[in-house]
Chain A
Amino acid sequence: MTTATLTSGLMAVRPEADATPVKETDMAATSAATPALVSTPDNSVSFGEHFSNFIRAVLPPLIGFALVIGLWALVAMKSADFPSPAKTLDAAVVLFSDPFYQNGPNDQGIGWNILSSLKRVAIGFGFAALVGIPMGFIIGRFAFMNSMLEPIISILRPVSPLAWLPIGLMVFKAADPASTWTIFICSIWPMILNTAQGVQRVPQDYLNVARVLNLSEFRIITKILFPSVLPYMLTGIRLSIGTAWLVIVAAEMLTGGVGIGFWVWDEWNNLKVEHILIAIFVIGIVGLLLEYLLLLIARRFSYGTN
């Protein structure tokens, strides 16, 4: 099945990202910060300079989008099945003029579909954080637990979360908690591993300070361990939410109900290809927003460690 290969392909990319969580955050943060710099008002810079900066920041992405839309229009002209950009835009206008209508359980507005997908992601993700973060602390702090659990995690982590879907269906006997369950499974690994790595990488200097001051275990956790691990934890969370958003679409295609993934499948059955294209954009934009939101949070908690 195409969805399954797609997901597992993306999972394979993840370990590299795990290896350098902080660096990645920094790079992403700086690249995200560049457009903000351009818009900062500065009296010493003339209007003309502002304008040229603005053009330099905005022009390349615009060209990129224009190329994609041009290519798309070309394909649409050659193929009878493929809707043109204009037709898709028309369909999108209709779709988003009433995003929250409800005509029974299988025919709801796109807003409801997005929201119910987000809700599943939030629940599965929340449970994963509740279990994964404390587990990461335990694995990071105690070498015994690390050696005990590491091989298990190594075997389970590369498995596509969709492989766990039947188990979810069997245990919960319902589609909705089963797809939440797959989100839980796919979110938990990055959280465990990044938290554990963060705990293992608490600088020895800080621990020496704790030892010299003879701080209590409570103070060590609140003043040294937790703030030091937080950036790693947030990276784990960010990676998790990215995969969770990938997986929910696939899971919903398999389980049905209300949700953006199911909606894609439904529209395929209705042969409304323009709606599928709209869904692809919407999924992409929501994923981007989720990532950006977490990046903002991460930046709030990244201290200039040097």
Chain B
Amino acid sequence: MNAIVKVENVGMAFETKKGSFVALKDVNLQIRTGEVVSLIGHSGCGKSTLLNLIAGLTLPTSGVMLCNGREIAGPGPERAVVFQNHSLLPWLNCFENVYLAVERVFSAKEGKEALRARTHAALEMVHMGHAAQKLPHEISGGMKQRIGIARAFAMEPKILLMDEPFGALDALTRAALQDELIGVMAKTGATVVMVTHDVDEAVLLSDRVVMMTNGPAATIGEILDVKLAKPRDRLQLAHDPHFAECRAAILEFLYQKQMKKAA
């Protein structure tokens, strides 16, 4: 098994004024090349913390994190991140936002023309070529997230990390972007880890759904294999019995086994 990311006995504690707060404890996870993994759980279960650990934005307080056999010591362009709030730089237009990432990754080997071609290709891939010269505040939230996705894919990362990428979008825009993402993932064969709180989204997009227990000291509760053929179509899946089974399994985990106490 060729695991690109290995998470072994990882724990994460934050120092707070009231003493140390254990967010994650004994997390073990392997992510294989080319697979799409969703992290799902109630809010506060540390799924974003786990994603940030893989990204290298925070470092674990115990355990080992490996990417490609090397310890994760910090963030890097081989682990691209799509942030929930798109995080486009407002003073750069869409082209420049993507170009900044492309330039960083490929400028050592490629000339300006090739870099520009890569940027345009990435924008076309998410159907945003027409907005290349627009500033982020001139386009809609869904379009901003498309640019964020284009920026991440343009870096040709070994693994793509998405932190609730569609969480801030309305339901229709979210569905459109999920379909978009299905297409892009099929084309690129990317390895993806995605944090979500949307059960349908998790089943629709992933090969495996990692369900996390409630915090504090959250860990992985169950892992569900989604054995649905790809590429997937949301209309056909609506009547697919395995899709319904997967959904039911996740819902059962979230609302029976890990019922959140009334907050």
Contact = CB atoms under 8 A, between A and B. Distances in A.
A and B found bound together: yes
Given A212-B79, A212-B81, A213-B100, A303 B90 contact: yes
In the complex, which range does the number of interface residues on chain A fall in?
A: 10 to 19
Interface string A205-224: 11011011111000100011
B75 A211 contact: yes
In the complex, which range does the number of interface residues on chain B fall in?
A: 20 to 34
Interface of B: 55, 57, 74-77, 79-81, 83, 85, 87, 89-92, 100-101, 104, 135-138, 155
A175 B77 CA distance: 59
Given A223-B92, A223-B100, A227-B91, A212 B80 contact: yes
A106 B183 CA distance: 80
B87 A209 contact: yes
25 contacts: A206-B87, A206-B89, A208-B81, A209-B83, A209-B87, A209-B89, A211-B74, A212-B55, A212-B76, A212-B80, A213-B77, A213-B104, A214-B77, A214-B104, A215-B100, A219-B100, A219-B104, A223-B89, A223-B92, A227-B91, A303-B90, A303-B135, A303-B137, A304-B137, A306-B137
Contacts of A219: 100, 104
B67 to A, nearest CB: 13
Given A205-B83, A205-B85, A211-B74, 8 more contacts: A213-B101, A214-B75, A214-B76, A215-B100, A227-B91, A303-B91, A304-B137, A305-B137
A224 B55 CA distance: 20
Nearest to B138: A304
Contacts of B85: 205
> What's the dominant secondary structure at chain A's contact region?
helix
Contacts of B75: 208, 211-212, 214
Contact of A227 (B57, B79, B87, B89): B89
B262 to A, nearest CB: 31
A306 B141 CA distance: 10
A214 B101 CA distance: 9
Contacts, number: 56
A208 B83 contact: yes
- Chain A to chain B: the 5 pairs with minimum beta-carbon distance, closest first: A304-B137, A303-B90, A227-B91, A205-B87, A211-B75
Nearest to A230: B91
A208 B87 CA distance: 9
A303 B91 CA distance: 6
A188 to B, nearest CB: 27
Nearest to A226: B91
A215 B100 CA distance: 9
A206 B57 CA distance: 13
A213 B91 CA distance: 17
Interface string A197-209: 0000000011011
A305 B90 contact: yes
A209 to B, nearest CB: 5
A214 B79 CA distance: 11
Contacts of A306: 137
Contacts of B136: 304
B260 to A, nearest CB: 27
Contacts of B74: 211
B104 A215 contact: yes
Contacts of B101: 213
Contacts of B80: 212
Interface in A92-142: none
Interface in A260-306: 303-306
Contacts of B92: 223
Contact of B135 (A206, A228, A304): A304
A131 B5 CA distance: 48
A305 to B, nearest CB: 5
Contacts of A211: 57, 74-75
B164 to A, nearest CB: 14
B206 to A, nearest CB: 22
Contacts of A214: 75-77, 104
A227 B77 CA distance: 23
